[in-house]
Amino acid sequence: MKIAKLSTLLLLAGSCFGTTYQVTINASSLPPATSGFIDFAFNGGYAATAVVSNFSNTGGSLSNVGLYTQGTVSGTLPGTVTLGANNADYDESIVYGTPISFFLNLSGTPSGNTGDVFTVSLFDTNYDGLLTGNVNDGWLVQFQMSPQGVITPTAYANPTGGASLATVVATPEPGTLWMIAIPGVALFGFGRLRKLNSTN
């Protein structure tokens, strides 16, 4: 009975997820010194956290004077920015350099029937989307997080319908992989122990 209860707890712990992505945006097609706003938005149906780190905007600049936040947001670029999935929004003035890159870590404990969505947008000074063919929303990159904890990144096509100007690469951290493996290793060990006890 104790083994069964512990096994259940380990399986529940294994349902938590944490995945890191490197996002790189080729903004070389923009005229030099193009200004606008970089926007991160995060909302959904279950508690989750998005952490933006290692932000780089080669040849460009940021301005905290033009900073707008909503919901659970802490930190400012180029430092670490953390958002909660409660209609959080981070919007900052930027002079675009190229490439623009950052790491994004998404973590949470899936539940319910509604997933979460994290989006990345680059806007001009009129809040029209840049470098994306997604004219309705202006999103350049979207991460859909299902109630089962599956994350699906989408890099939208460029304005002419060609390949996206954003690349998204999953970069699992060794620590994350080890945490995922712990429940399976522990269950295997408990199974072996129960088998040995039953033969004695």
Which backbone phi and psi does 178 adopt, to 5 degrees? Answer: -65, -40
Q: What is the pLDDT of residue 65?
A: 87
Q: Which domain holds residue 17?
A: 13-176
Structure token digits, residue 36 = 């606008």
Beta bridge partners, 118, equal 42, 143
Q: What is the pLDDT of residue 18?
A: 87
In a domain, 199, yes or no: no
Residues making up the chain, counted from first to last: 200
In a domain, 27, yes or no: yes
In a domain, 4, yes or no: no
In a domain, 52, yes or no: yes
In a domain, 138, yes or no: yes
In a domain, 8, yes or no: no
> Would you give per-residue pLDDT tens digits along the chain (200 residues)?
444 443 433 333 345 778 999 999 999 999 999 999 999 999 988 999 999 999 999 999 999 888 999 999 999 999 999 999 999 999 999 999 999 999 999 999 898 999 999 999 999 999 999 999 999 999 999 999 999 999 999 999 999 999 999 999 999 754 444 444 444 544 454 455 455 455 55
Total domains, the chain: 1
Q: Percent helix, strand, coil in the chain (nearest 5)?
A: 20, 45, 35
Q: What is the pLDDT of residue 192?
A: 54
Closest CA to 138 of 121, 153, 113: 121
Q: Distance between CA 154 and CA 15 in Å, rounded?
A: 23
**pLDDT tens figures, 102-118:** 999 999 989 899 999 99
Q: What is the pLDDT of residue 165?
A: 98
In a domain, 172, yes or no: yes
Closest CA to 139 of 164, 163, 119: 119
**pLDDT tens figures, 154-189:** 999 999 999 999 999 999 754 444 444 444 544 454
In a domain, 198, yes or no: no
Q: What is the pLDDT of residue 9?
A: 36
Q: Distance between CA 41 and CA 117 in Å, rounded?
A: 8
Q: What is the pLDDT of residue 144?
A: 97
